[in-house]
Amino acid sequence: MKGMDHAKMAMDQPAEHQDMSNMDMTHMDMDMGDGHMMHMGNLKRKFWVSLILMIPVILMSPMMGMTLPFQLIFPGSDWVVAILGSVLFFYGGAPFFSGAKAELQMKRPAMMTLIAMGIGVAYVYSIYAVIANDLFHVTPVVNNFFWELSTLIVIMLLGHWIEMNTVMNAGSAVDALGKLLPQTAHVVDDQGNVTDVNLSDLQVGQTVVIRAGEQIPADATIVTGTSAVNESLVTGESKAVKKASGDSLIGGAVNGTGTLTATVTGTGDSGYLAQVMKLISDAKNAKSKSENLADKVAGWLFYAALFAGILAFIVWLTVADLTVALPVAVAVFVIACPHALGLAVPLVVSRSTALAAQNGLLIRNRNAMEQVNKLKFALMDKTGTLTMGEFKVNHLVSLTPDLDETVVLQHLAALESGSSHPLATGILTAAQARNLTITPATDTHQETGLGQFGTIGDTTYGVVSVNYLDQHHLDYDHDQFTKFAAEGNSISYLVAGEQVLGLVAQGDQIKPAAKTLVASLKRQGITPVMLTGDNQETANKVAASVGITEVKARLLPEDKERLVKAYQQKGKVLFIGDGVNDAPSLARADVGMAIGSGTDVAIESADIILVSSDPADVIQFLDLARATQRKMTENLWWGAGYNLIAIPLAAGVLAPIGFMLDPMVGAVIMSLSTIIVAINAMTLKVKDVAVD
């Protein structure tokens, strides 16, 4: 997990290993966002034990020196309270002291140091009061603060418990992903017998039977059978995908009418859903710039509280005595605790991350969300981003008498048989439609941005772009190229050595939401720019159709990255690509957004992954990011504003008119502030995400 080296993670025990298929969140460590790692089961136990200890302390200990009607005061009760208070202090207060130790080791004192200081001062003074009163019988009687100490610790623990429950509720999207998987799988043994086993016992390499209508239990590769698989629950694509022998299956998808036999390729932590869950986990644990700012503000407030507390202590010690000065200082330390400020950003981002996951937006890098308001340019790939990426062969031409069109198509299909590129898919689909027998080429290799090469028979062929022809000074019919390209076609050539043997022109369809995306970007003051490796004529036609005026065509992947850097000189850049050839640009951009799901390149390079390939999701992300920013700002103002008002009150600036703020009230106000921040974070709803 990212961010686990943060000092405040020392609050409690390490997380237990979790099987992703079980998704039991009850005992998982949770990152509170401000770095506090709290073990759920341990925190709950600490709260209840501390609450039980607090009850007799309240019954036997005066509050602020006043004996209440229900209290049980008897000879020796002070010592009983001291013992119970000590247990409560060392047991219930342990998380705060371990957190304070880690902060001080990093020379970054903040919230936990402040809490530890407050309860530490109260405890030491209370022990002193018991000894002074019961052993030395001093007059006047020194009031102890065990009542305040016990309630303060319990309230602090309760606040942390509330926070953790809030974060866990915000993370319910992870649970939903886990529920996509069935509970059992039909495993085939070496004798061909089928046995049902628990999903947690399923292993890579085992053979499973997936019957019609069943959910696929794990990532697998089909051995026998054909079917149309519905992957909408996993990928967001609504249409069924035809699957046959050799095709990959994603765990959680739903099988169609056919029965499939498949070999398991990924379970538990190695499966596709586990990768998605890890993305969500990484997003929740990554530190964003706003969180760093919140930490800085908390640090400033700590020093302000320390100064105010010491100053108030000195002033009140001068004008009154220690019994007045100490509770005033304690009140300052308690009321100034930047707990709400520490929660301001992480709770909002946790909620936002969960909402995003529920709507097919996987936020891998939180920093990206904070760049949205500064974006000036949206650079986007054409194929698969603005267009469907589903090519259809519109023209097939032989450019030599030695080969007819059918042989040209056979050679093209042989070269592309191992490729998943949309252009290759179009060629293979055309070959299948003609019932051509395809023998894959041997020794195939790819030259990025130029073409695919391989050996057919004894000859090396290549399916290349016009860039390759120009770079190698090969002759071709420019007028023919211009004519086909002007129709919106992407054109590939079949070459052998120095000879151009044929061409294929394929057309793509523009996605329905592409024009809406471009219009929305313009309204938000973001300039859309199309970058593509396709020819200029086709690029211009697609751009004109969706409303883009800035077009850069015939680009290699390195050219796109260079353009990203050039545009970054003018402002923040959003790059939208398919996560394959666009990987360098996705990594370079201020916000990298991968269209499509499941590719390693997308996972490693992009900040945001759109599970569905719908451009409308880009608008969803921008709107959600802005709503998230608003909530962050509201919470930061609440956390900081509360402290700015409360510190002077706790120091006693209104004492001349008879108003004093005691530690208990300080603790209550602090906890209310925490709850308000949590509630405000949870008011971030899906309705804030609106597609134009």
User: In sequence order, what are the residues at sequence separation of 6 or more whose Cβ sits closer than 8 angstroms to the Cβ of residue 474?
Assistant: 468, 495, 498, 499, 500
Partnered with residue 529 across adjacent β-strands are 379, 550
**The tokens of 665 are what?**
């009230």
Q: How far apart are CA 327 and CA 77, in angstroms?
A: 22
Q: How far apart are CA 71 and CA 54, in angstroms?
A: 13
Residue 545 to residues 392, 521, 522: CA-CA distances in angstroms?
19, 15, 15
Partnered with residue 38 across adjacent β-strands are 30
Q: Which helix (H) or strand (E) element contains residue 151?
A: helix 146-170
* Placement of tokens 């056919």 in the chain: 258
Q: Are 629 and 664 spatial neighbours (Cβ–Cβ below 8 Å)?
A: no
Residue 205 to residues 9, 220, 251, 262, 300: CA-CA distances in angstroms?
38, 9, 15, 9, 56
Partnered with residue 186 across adjacent β-strands are 196, 209
Active-site residue identified among 31, 219, 381, 534: 381
Q: Which helix (H) or strand (E) element contains residue 361?
A: strand 361-363
Strand-strand pairing, 550-552 and 527-531: parallel
Question: What is the CA angle 59-60-65, rounded to 5?
Answer: 105
Q: What is the DSSP string of 472-497?
A: TT----HHHHHHHHHTTEEEEEEEET
Q: What is the DSSP string of 417-485?
A: TT---HHHHHHHHHHHHTT----PPEEEEEETTTEEEEEETTEEEEEE-HHHHHHTT----HHHHHHHH
Partnered with residue 377 across adjacent β-strands are 527, 573
> Phi and psi of 564, rounded to 5°?
-60, -45
Strand-strand pairing, 194-198 and 184-188: antiparallel
Nearest to 12, CA basis, from 85, 87, 92, 88: 92
CB atoms within 10 A of CB 238: 10
Q: How far apart are CA 388 and CA 520, in angstroms?
A: 20
CB atoms within 10 A of CB 12: 21
Q: Are 255 and 209 spatial neighbours (Cβ–Cβ below 8 Å)?
A: no
Q: What is the largest CA-CA distance in the chain?
A: 117
Q: How far apart are CA 299 and CA 276, in angstroms?
A: 35
Q: How far apart are CA 40 and CA 29, in angstroms?
A: 6
Q: Is residue 381 annotated as part of the catalytic site, yes or no?
A: yes
Three-state secondary structure call for residue 607? coil
Residue type for 281, please? S
Q: Are 103 and 109 spatial neighbours (Cβ–Cβ below 8 Å)?
A: yes
Q: How far apart are CA 567 and CA 589, in angstroms?
A: 9
**Any idea which residues carry the catalytic annotation?**
381
